[in-house]
Amino acid sequence: MSSRINLPLLNFSRPQETFAVVDGRAVTREKFLADMLQVADQLPEQPYAINLCENRYYFAVGFMAAMLRGQHNLLPPNQLSSTIEEITADYPDSYSLSETAEQFSERLQTHKIEINLETTSKPDQAPEISADHIAAILFTSGSTGKPVANPKTWHQLVKGVELILQRFNLQKGELTSLVATVPAQHMFGLECTLLAPLFGNVLLQTERPFYPDDIRQSLEDVSAPRVLITTPMHIRACITADCDWPELGFIVSATDNLSADVAADAELALSTQVFEILGCTEAGAFATRRTVTDKTWRMLPGMRIFDGSDVAAVRGPQLPESAPLQDIVQLHSDTEFELLGRQTDLIKVAGKRASLNDLNIKLQSIDGVEDGVFIPPDKNNKPGTRLAAIIVAPETTVESVLAALGKVLDPVFFPRPLLKADKLPRNATGKLPREALLQLLRQIHCMSFTKEFSIPTSHPSLPGHFPDNPVVPGVVILQQIEIAFQNWQKNVVLSGWPQVKFLQPVSPDQKVEVKFDLKNNQQAGFKCVSADKVVASGIFEFQRMEKK
């Protein structure tokens, strides 16, 4: 793409058309352009602007103003101070844009965007920007490691959103109101909540609702036809919410895999249709499907998918070159394919392969499981390290979930351990950054501990003890439980024998798994399980020793 080619900042063929509703007031495209020009004059001279605006209108004004000044928008995957510090270190000539005066980092200058809603300036045409200008640098979510920077030219962004608008018929006709739960700093959010209003017949909705009733209210506040831009996490919450939903044209979901069952429940609960967009930070959106009826994905208009040298790749009018995918696909043609998983999603245990996505869908489909995720071991872990899993399941037990998994999973993929949490650390787009999951795993491990043991036939307590049908004495089992407990809680003194109930006999060489749960600073419950049956349970009482 030659740097001599320019593209407009927005569709300005209808300057008096409503572009957004801000604080209850309609803002025309003409007023938006005037605000953009005003803010551009106020920006610092630095080359990089970290756009941290939560309000979509302020985000849009700041994003476009920075481009007018020849600057590049940095769009972090989240607003954690550690993330902002990392980006600031990588881009020291940057400042932050915000609708508030909040200081996000000691090393980062914050520019508060000031907009005068009473401005009466009337620009007569939209400025143009070089198609080659790096309009934005987005970052991957960090779900598989450290976020990676991905620069996007203005040509890539403009031509990419044109394909989305064509697919969903949002270029012409009646003005469509978009309500979105995803942040504008994410590729999906950028395309659907900023670029679509800039170049489509779409109204910018400035809020980002999170809870189901807030989503319902945001939909109520805008005129029909309405479209909801969201994630599987939000869809699951909306299905179970007791809400009276307004008329909704359709839902577009992305950022994570959506099962056909959940999509069907959503179509029934919200009286609408559910579509998915498949994309990535590297290529943007490239395919869609209606989840309930379509197993295959259709490429966006003008885009093609093909087998590359090692992986599948996509090409299209918005891409400077073909973009390799992390997805594993089965091609039906150069415009249709089935999604089988991701390269980073494929795991191998005991010579058998499985898709993490498939495991997660099976886990989340179990009755009583509100959310759940499998966590593969690090590549540096020793061979034989098992998968872990965390579930949000307040109304069911770990044992019942494991029993349900036993009906749909090969035993080699059983999670060891399977742990419970109040919630999973999903980010604003519903993704689960790996480091956040590992941190949660470490926190839970501080509250619980699992150990496996068995008593060999040669144990001195067994000869003569029920000779025809040997059974391990309860006191021997209790000794193993105590050893395991003190391996976990090293600086404690037990307050006598535990309260214990033996519920099933244990044979020599029978594997038993004991799990401890810390109840408070002086008590820990335990449960011994063998072959999915509880063989013993009880409570340890203890006192902590002061460390010297």
Domain count, the chain: 3
**393 in the same domain as 494:** no
Q: Is residue 311 part of a domain?
A: no
> 125 and 4 share a domain?
yes
The answer to whether residues 83 and 1 belong to one domain is: yes
Q: Which residues of 216-252 are buried (b: 16+ CB within 10 A; e: fewer)?
A: bebbebbeeebbbbbbbbbbbbbbeeebebbebebbb
| Same-domain pairing of 440 and 502 | no
Helix, strand, coil shares of the chain, percent, nearest 5, are: 25, 30, 45
- Give domain status of residue 279, yes or no: no
Q: What is the pLDDT of residue 462?
A: 82
- Same domain? 1 vs 131: yes
- The chain-wide mean pLDDT, for the chain, equals 89
β-pair type (202-205, 176-180): parallel
What b/e string do you get for 268-301 counting C-beta neighbours within 10 Å, with b at 16 or more? eebebbbbbbbbbbbbbbbbbbebbeeeebbbbe
Domain limits for position 424: 350-448
Residue 326, domain member (yes or no): no
Same domain, 458 and 476: yes
Q: In this structure, are 128 and 77 located in the same domain?
A: yes
Residues of the chain with pLDDT under 70: 1-4, 104, 141-146, 308-309, 350-351, 379-385, 445, 464-466, 520-521, 545-548
Whose tokens are 């699992």? That residue is 450
Question: How far apart (Å, rounded) are the C-alpha atoms in residues 180 and 192?
Answer: 8
| Helix (H), strand (E), coil (C) string for 267-287 | HHHHCCCEEEEEEECCCEEEE
Please write the tens of the pLDDT for every residue from 118-140. Answer: 777 788 888 999 999 999 999 98
Asked, for residue 291, whether it belongs to a domain, the answer is no
Query: Comparing C-alpha atoms, which of 190, 248, 189, 242 is closest to residue 213?
Result: 242
Asked whether residue 342 is domain-assigned, the answer is: no
Side-by-side strand order, sheet with 371-375: 371-375, 388-392, 418-420
Structure tokens at 309: 């040298």
At 146 the pLDDT is 67
Q: Which of 136, 153, 170 is the last residue of a domain?
A: 153
Q: Provide the 10 A C-beta neighbour count for residue 77.
A: 25
d(CA 377, CA 397): 24
Same domain for 69 and 42: yes
Is 125 within a domain? yes
pLDDT for res 2: 45
**24 is written with which tokens?**
């209850």
Q: Distance between CA atoms of 197 and 73, rounded to whole angstroms?
A: 18
Residues 437 and 487 in one domain: no
CATH code for the domain in which residue 34 is found: 3.40.50.12780
- Predicted confidence at residue 101, as pLDDT, reads 77
Question: Which of these three, 405, 433, 448, is where a domain ends?
Answer: 448
Does 511 reside within a domain? yes
CATH at 373 = 3.30.300.30
Which residue, of 428, 448, 468, is where some domain finishes? 448
CA distance 162 to 160: 5
Tell me: do 393 and 480 sit in the same domain.
no
| Domain-embedded: residue 129 | yes
Sheet holding 25-28, edge to edge: 25-28, 18-22, 202-205, 176-180, 226-230, 250-253, 274-280, 284-290, 297-299, 336-342, 327-331
Asked if 141 and 3 sit in the same domain, the reply is: yes
- Angstrom distance (rounded) from CA 150 to CA 140: 8
Same domain, 143 and 3: yes
494-548 confidence digits (pLDDT tens): 888 888 999 999 999 999 999 998 776 678 899 999 988 999 999 998 887 654 4
CATH number at 458 reads 3.10.129.10
